């Protein structure tokens, strides 16, 4: 799967450390240990050219991102 998709993750380090299947794919030569993904935050850095293929988002959960998102939701609910 990983060799056939554009892979986005919430955090490269967190996903790499938590994902046995990614490390196995690297050990088997399916993906490189570097450059194997883009972080979801990179989408805001500018236009992303369409690859014409499939995109996969692999998330393991990053607490700091959850807190920022929660604060934004609270601010929207109560702008005072």
Q: How far apart are CA 46 and CA 41, in angstroms?
A: 10
Q: How far apart are CA 51 and CA 55, in angstroms?
A: 9
Q: Which residues pair with 57 in a beta bridge?
A: 8
Question: Per the structure block, which two tokens stand in for 24?
Answer: 């196995």
Residue 22's pLDDT is what? 87
Q: Is the pTM of this model over 0.85?
A: no
Sheet holding 38-39, edge to edge: 38-39, 5-9, 54-58
Tell me the domain boundaries of the chain: 2-77
79 pLDDT band, cuts 50/70/90, is: low
Rounded to an integer, the average pLDDT of 38-43 is 81
8 CB neighbour count, 10 Å cutoff: 19
Element spanning 60, H or E: none
Kindly report, residue by residue over 49-77, the tens digit of the pLDDT: 777 788 888 888 777 777 887 888 888 88
């Amino acid at each position: 799967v990983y060799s056939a998709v554009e892979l986005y993750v919430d955090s490269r380090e967190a996903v790499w450390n938590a994902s046995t299947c990614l490390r196995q794919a690297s050990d088997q030569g399916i993906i490189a240990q570097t450059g194997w993904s883009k972080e979801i935050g990179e989408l805001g850095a500018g236009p992303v050219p369409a690859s014409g293929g499939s995109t996969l988002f692999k998330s393991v959960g990053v607490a700091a991102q959850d807190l920022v998102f929660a604060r934004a939701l609270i601010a929207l609910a109560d702008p005072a």
